[in-house]
Structure 1
Amino acid sequence: MDAFILGCISFCTSVITGVIGVGGGLLLIAILPSFLPANDLIPIHGLNQITSNVSRAYFGYKNIQFQVIPKFLIGSLVGVGTFACFLTMISLTYIPLFIGTYILLSLWSQSFNNKITKYENYYVIGFFQTGLSVIVGTTGQLAMVKLLKEFKDKDKVIATSALLMSLTHILKIIVFIYFGFVFHDYLSIIISMIIGSILGSYCGSKLRDKIKGEKLIFALKILLSMLAVKSILSII
């Protein structure tokens, strides 16, 4: 039953990201603590997000701005190696606390967002986006801010962001495999979520021009905030 439910949730969150370009990954990782142990949240979420982002990039392939990839990838490689060291220094029991705090700050603290986005350079963005994702799960809005300023076409922004996030999650999954995470233990859940992600990406790409993003974004922020608080309280 959990596999089916998570597949449906994965579908819905993938649709949201397909429509507005960001938010679905945050929503998914805020929901996962209700279904998965704390130690397994980030790797399962990361594997799912690879599928979601790769499929979204595929459906928008012609709009991807490939010139930004090399700089982002170099920063990502350095970042994932640096931040992976923290995994050996903290208890993964507190991952829900990191996730909930990060979500609340990202949604409501302008000073926090100003601090993490003012270094608008693809090397730096790759470093922090991929590095931080090892600890908090998803950080797609870091690159989104830069892409929105550089490209005015939302299809270019969403497709390029999807490819950058694919690289982020692929590198993150390599880290968790290195630390010995066994994905086979969650095979049915993973398959269900992958199917949901692909279908959601397809539907989101078709709905993008038919749904007003402003109302959806506001409702998403409220829901995310509630889930973030729940995530923080879950470790108390």
Structure 2
Amino acid sequence: MGDILHAGLGWPIAGTLLAVSFIGSFITVAFGIGGGAVMLAALATLLPAAAIIPVHGLVQLGSNAGRAALMVKYMRFELLGAFSIGALIGIFVGGSVVVQLHPGWIQVGVGLFILWSVLATPPAFLQRSGMVTGLFSSFLTMFFGGTGPFVATYVKAQKLDRHGHVATHAMLMTVQHLLKTIAFGLLGFAFAAWAGLIAMLIGFGMLGTLVGRLALARIDEKRFKFALNAVLTILALRLIYAGASLLIFGGPEAEI
């Protein structure tokens, strides 16, 4: 039974991931963004390379769907159609490319992507079109996972209030992660082997969402974001180092 719940990783690793799932959802509710990157960094450090993006996608699907359900009255549904069309195209094109990747490239790519999300700003053109945002971010999510900042740039441009921003962002990310999960299932990823752990990660993520809603007014946002960026930078550098070591010194290829 234990192996089913922790997917063979062992309880120390599984427990760490459950804590990160809770913290990641808390961060996303508190600040509107950032929790997905924290979860991605942890998964990329502790999971086999081929499982990082599919498992992250399904966990984020559960977390965003739960957040969206709690805040459904704040959603801007008129933004859903164009984004969904773009997301479908982006997932289809990305899925046709991401068939076989060396684990070193996955780790380096995810590390660079996380580092970029901390230090840079998403391109301005994403503010103007839901379809372009859906296509661009969904294509990238098949390779790097955490494209929430791209979608957040588009949502921010709609000038919604705080609740509307969080709810609409959760709605769009639910669509993206649902399409991604379907794509990886069609590509042959064995989600069943990870089902127990993924269910627990989603559950802890929901707890983080609930606690985050209660604690919003008590957080020193400036200091917390500084600490968050510092942790993400360290994790990203570690992933880049580990991936580069695999590429330089060799290692088996990992099939998605």
Separation in structure 2 between the aligned mates of residue 207 and residue 27 of structure 1, nearest angstrom: 19
Contact in 2 for aligned 1:4/1:192 (Cα 8 Å): no
Contact in 2 for aligned 1:79/1:131 (Cα 8 Å): yes
Separation in structure 2 between the aligned mates of residue 34 and residue 24 of structure 1, nearest angstrom: 16
Residue 138 (structure 2) pairs with residue 130 (structure 1): yes
Query: Which stretch shows the higher mean deviation, 36-45 or 98-107?
Result: 98-107
Give the residue type in structure 1 aligned to 2:86.
G
Gaps of 5+ in 1: none
Deviation at 1:58, TM superposition (A): 1.3
**Of the candidates 87, 110, 135, which is equivalent to residue 76 of structure 1?**
87
What percentage of aligned pairs have identical amino acids?
Answer: 31
Cα distance per residue 1:31-74 (max 9 Å; x no partner): 11332100000111111101111111111111111110001001
Separation in structure 1 between the aligned mates of residue 179 and residue 41 of structure 2, nearest angstrom: 21
Larger radius of gyration: 2
Cα distance change, pair 68–194 in 1 and its aligned pair in 2 (3 A): same
Partner of 1:44, secondary structure, is: helix
Normalising by the residue count of structure 2, what TM-score does the alignment of the two structures yield? 0.86
In the alignment, what sits opposite 1:199?
207
Deviation at 1:5, TM superposition (A): 2.4
Residue 77 (structure 2) pairs with residue 66 (structure 1): yes
In the alignment, what sits opposite 1:162?
170
Separation in structure 2 between the aligned mates of residue 145 and residue 170 of structure 1, nearest angstrom: 20
Give the residue type in structure 2 aligned to 1:212.
D
| Residues 110-149 of structure 1: pairs in structure 2 closer than 5 A | 110=121, 113=122, 116-120=123-127, 121-149=129-157
How many correspondences in the alignment?
232
In the alignment, what sits opposite 1:12?
23
In the alignment, what sits opposite 1:86?
97
Separation in structure 2 between the aligned mates of residue 200 and residue 151 of structure 1, nearest angstrom: 26
In the alignment, what sits opposite 1:172?
180
Partner of 1:138, secondary structure, is: coil
Gaps of 5+ in 2: 1-10, 246-256
Partner of 1:105, secondary structure, is: helix
Normalising by the residue count of structure 1, what TM-score does the alignment of the two structures yield? 0.93
Separation in structure 1 between the aligned mates of residue 72 and residue 219 of structure 2, nearest angstrom: 22
Deviation at 1:107, TM superposition (A): 1.6
